């Protein structure tokens, strides 16, 4: 099981890692006489050039990128952050670790935040909207940006699963005030583990850098001023940077392969009875790493999933709020453990199963097929890969057709 980037690892990444090892350069900084920029530094600058982001900061995970983004934008205790009920648990965990309050909102047929529901959940305590580009396709950033601007809120993009994606010509991660990307094994590009953070504002970047590296100014050019919070150590090391740099330089080939494979898979599948495909806000900007099928009933969706040896999206691990016991506490938590759900909190906010009926319905009727990310935990354990041959694509499509036709005929 892996993501597309892993399948594209090759001599380019090896050469960059060997270059770092030849000089025993293991840290992102260059101390002493060396004038050659580090792999991590080069990665950040090339990612800025590719995306048009004002600033890029490499960190050790996308979770760290989200935590750093929230810190840099001043999100903290008592602030509310609107987040979809369909996302990896890390999106919510980052909010909680800032002492802020996650406000769960519905998704729509895009499988991303419903702008209409976001508007309903804004209160005087709301500080930010966290849009998650789930399964490699962009959220409705145009509408979410409009809502954020209208209400004076920050817009943060969780692009963990959508590195290289775009929205109406703009790179994901640059429409919002901050964007977070993952480089783990299941993502578009990988360094094993790691993350990237994009920021639009100079001051936010300085705060982010200080937070990720013990209060230092960018590139350790002095100590940050008194506005800086106590920093942590969330740095990316040089060997991860070398692998990520090699991957970034081939991301266009990766995305082109995914688009070609998804087109072939769709052509082979044809029209399926009782099946609706996911609505994509920008077909030219999606990463094409998944193919989502939505059925008319939960029974049909579960029947097809069982035939294929997969699961519906509502059963896809810690990507659905109802599968997050940390959130749905079965005992009364203390404020130190769960300040966001403690009855003593002034919001009195609670989290319960089935609190997002539209999200529950959409996920219970949907399955996702792999095009590039083979991950049973995410619900994409069956389908094709970037390396699948035309014959393998045809065979995978026939398996899906057979499962759908048999289950629909029985119903």
Nearest by Cα to 126 from 94, 92, 69, 79: 79
C-beta separation of 213 from 235 below 8 A: yes
**Which structure tokens are listed for 304?**
């097809």
| Sign of the torsion formed by the C-alpha atoms of 16, 18, 22 and 27 | positive
- Catalytic, 187? Answer yes
Environment class of residue 409 by beta-carbon count within 10 Å: exposed (0-12), middle (13-18) or buried (19+)? exposed
CA distance 171 to 155: 15
CB burial of 38-58 (b: ≥16 within 10 Å; e: otherwise) equals bbbbbbbeebeeebebebbbb
Query: Which is the catalytic residue, given 187, 217, 260, 411?
Result: 187
- Tokens 């403690």 label which residue? 342
In the block, residue with structure tokens 């453990």: 337
* Radius of gyration of the CA atoms of the chain, in A: 21
Q: How far apart are CA 321 and CA 369, in angstroms?
A: 21
Residues acting as catalytic residues: 187
């Amino acid at each position: 099981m892996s993501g597309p980037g892993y399948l594209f690892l090759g001599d380019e990444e090896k050469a960059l890692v060997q270059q770092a090892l030849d000089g025993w350069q293991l840290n992102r900084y260059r101390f002493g006489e060396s004038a050659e920029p580090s792999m991590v530094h080069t990665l950040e600058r090339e990612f800025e050039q590719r995306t048009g982001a004002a600033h890029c900061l490499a960190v050790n995970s996308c979770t760290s990128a989200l935590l750093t983004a929230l810190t840099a934008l001043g999100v903290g205790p008592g602030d509310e952050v609107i987040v979809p009920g369909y996302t990896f648990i890390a999106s919510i965990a980052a909010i909680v670790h800032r002492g802020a309050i996650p406000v769960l909102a519905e998704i729509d047929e895009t499988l991303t935040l419903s702008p209409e529901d976001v508007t309903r959940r804004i209160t005087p305590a709301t500080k930010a909207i966290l849009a998650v580009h789930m399964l490699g396709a962009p959220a409705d950033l145009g509408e979410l940006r409009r809502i954020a601007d209208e209400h004076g809120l920050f817009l943060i993009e969780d692009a963990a699963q959508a590195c290289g994606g775009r929205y109406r010509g703009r790179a994901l991660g640059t429409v919002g005030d901050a964007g977070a990307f993952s480089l783990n094994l299941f993502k578009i590009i990988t360094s094993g583990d790691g993350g990237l953070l994009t920021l639009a504002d100079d001051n936010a970047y300085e705060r982010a850098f200080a937070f990720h590296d013990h209060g230092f100014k960018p590139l350790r050019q002095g100590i940050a001023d008194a506005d800086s919070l106590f920093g942590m150590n969330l740095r990316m090391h040089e060997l991860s940077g070398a692998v990520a740099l090699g991957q970034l330089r081939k991301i266009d080939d990766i995305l082109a392969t995914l688009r070609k494979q998804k087109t072939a898979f769709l052509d082979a599948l044809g029209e399926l009875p009782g099946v609706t495909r996911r609505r994509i806000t920008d077909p030219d900007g999606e990463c094409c790493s998944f193919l989502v099928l939505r059925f008319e009933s939960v029974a049909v969706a579960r029947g097809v999933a069982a035939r294929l040896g997969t699961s519906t999206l509502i059963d896809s691990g810690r990507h659905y709020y109802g599968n997050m016991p940390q959130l749905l506490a079965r005992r009364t938590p203390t404020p130190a453990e769960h300040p966001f759900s403690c009855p003593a909190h002034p919001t009195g906010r609670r989290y319960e199963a089935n609190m997002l009926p539209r999200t529950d319905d959409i996920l219970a009727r949907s399955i996702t097929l792999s095009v590039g990310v083979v991950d049973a935990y995410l619900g994409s354990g069956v389908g094709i890969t970037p390396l699948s041959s035309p014959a393998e694509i045809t065979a995978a499509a026939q398996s899906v057709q057979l499962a759908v036709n048999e289950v629909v005929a029985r119903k």
